[in-house]
Amino acid sequence: MQTAVPIRVDYEQPEAAGACSTHQAWARVPAEPTQAERTALKTRIRELLKARNAVMVSHYYVHPDLQDLAEETGGLVSDSLEMARFGRDHAAQTLVVSGVRFMGETAKILSPEKRVLMPDLDATCSLDLGCPAAEFSAFCDAHPDRTVVVYANTSAAVKARADWLVTSSCALDIVRALKERGQKILWAPDRHLGGYIQRETGADMVFWNGACIVHDEFKAFELQALKAEHPGAKVLVHPESPADVVVLADAVGSTSGILKAAREMDAKEFIVATDNGMMHKLRTLNPGKVFIEAPTAGNSATCKSCAHCPWMAMNGLAGLAQVLETGTNEIKVDAALGQRARLPIDRMLAFTEALKAGRPVTGLVPNIGAA
């Protein structure tokens, strides 16, 4: 694999990037409300959603309360691709996104006329932090012959340099189609996901050297030991995990891919290598099955995230109620930047919609290049 650039940002000191470090994020994770507080907050949020013509869009990694409330009130809990599509298509004029900042920014880019609120605007992502726009732009300039494919977990400014956006649920299909058109790829920022796509498609790719602090911690040696203890268990892995973990998987997929595999695979036990926020949906949708967290730390080692994203954990009921009450924590994206960043997102959505409908996707592929 050709890796061109180092990770740029220390996740413990990202203040220079105007973001919240993992330590700061853990310190800002809201305390668990009591049962009485939880009931009162949920009631207030339901009222405010109606009063503000707002809808909730939550990711699978946020607190179960925020997942359940989204579904209960006509919103959505899903992977990052479907969050983007749902926010774009829903009639509500206010979207309340529980997740991390790039998810709110994508919603705003796709619906500049809507108000997009988030419980905590400092909830970021190590992939986004590790790929500053200026350095990324220089990397693109150094490879003018390559089609620029970026992962959704990036800033609006990085998306604005891209030809294509992908999420982990559509990256394989899109890169395969580009390869069939003879295109060489510049990939950013997740080196593990990029490596997986490269191994699966054989595409000619150069890589930015970013990683997800949650998935990067899964350990192959310990996973093998856990598999030996549970010989009947199937292993489900998110492709942001290291290659030696991915190779042990019975199914590799995005968060929605993992849910689908758990539902469809004929097994009673599953070992799951992704953020443990996923366990809520896996367990409620599959009551007869057992889900075990994949190991994140080797013998006597410690882990930074222990399979839970500190930035996802910053989302809570109280923050959600407050932003609905006050209208604070609104996502803003510069209009011109948003217009340029929208191109690769629109391409991804058009491609995946065509694929789903069984329409030819090849016609969409040549239509790339800088705006």
Q: Residues in the site for ligand 13P, rule: CB under 6 A?
A: 79-81, 153, 167-169, 212, 240, 254-255
Of residues 107-126, which lie at the interface with ligand SF4 (CB under 6 A)? 125-126
126 binds, among ligand SF4, ligand 13P, none (CB under 5 to 8 A by kind): ligand SF4
Q: Give the one entry of ligand 13P, ligand SF4, none that residue 79 binds, where binding means its C-beta sits below a cut-off of 5 to 8 angstroms depending on kind.
A: ligand 13P
Looking at the Cβ atoms of 210 and 319, the one nearer to ligand 13P is 210
- 3-state secondary structure (DSSP) of residue 198: helix
Choose between 236 and 321: whose C-beta lies nearer to ligand 13P: 236
Ramachandran area for residue 18 (φ above 0: left; ψ -120 to 50: alpha; else beta): left
**What track of x and - describes contact with ligand SF4 for positions 228 through 247 (by CB under 6 A)?**
------------x-------
Terminal C-alpha separation, the chain: 29
Whole-number minimum distance, CB 104 to ligand SF4, in Å?
12
Residue 70 interacting partner from ligand SF4, ligand 13P, none (CB closer than 5 to 8 Å by kind): none
Token code pair at residue 215 = 């998935």
Nearer to ligand SF4 among residue 56 and residue 123 (C-beta): 123
- Contact status: 158 vs ligand SF4 (CB under 6 A): no
Q: CB under 8 Å to 73, separation ≥6 — which residues? A: 45, 46, 49, 55, 56
43 and 83 in contact (C-beta within 8 Å)? no
Q: What is the DSSP letter of 144?
A: T
Measured from the CB atom, is 273 or 321 closer to ligand 13P? 273
Which does residue 213 touch among ligand 13P, ligand SF4, none (CB within 5 to 8 A, set by kind)?
A: ligand SF4
Residue 311 is a binding residue for ligand SF4 (CB under 6 A) = yes
Which one of ligand SF4, ligand 13P, none is in contact with 168 (Cβ closer than 5 to 8 A by kind)?
ligand 13P
Instruction: Pick out residues in 189-218 that bind ligand SF4 (CB under 6 A).
Output: 212-214
Q: What's the min distance (Å) between Cβ of 159 and ligand SF4? A: 15
Confirm if 35 and 45 have CB atoms less than 8 A apart. no
Q: How far apart are CA 230 and CA 127, in angstroms?
A: 32
Query: Positive or negative CA dihedral for 129, 130, 135, 141?
Result: negative
- Check residue 100 for interaction with ligand SF4 (CB under 6 A): yes
| Phi, psi dihedrals of residue 196, rounded to the nearest 5° | -60, -45
Please tell me the total number of residues recorded for the chain in this structure: 371
Q: Is 275 in the site for ligand SF4 (CB under 6 A)?
A: yes
Buried residues in 166-190 as b, exposed as e (16+ CB within 10 A): bbbbbbbbbbebbbeeebebbbbbb
Query: Is residue 9 a contact residue for ligand SF4 (CB under 6 A)?
Result: no
How far is 292 from 226, CA to CA, in rounded Å?
9
Look-up of token digits 């790339």: 368
Min separation Cβ 348 and ligand SF4, Å: 17
Nearest approach in angstroms of CB 79 to ligand 13P is 3
Q: What residues line the site for ligand SF4 (CB under 6 A)?
A: 100, 125-127, 153, 212-214, 240, 275, 309, 311-312
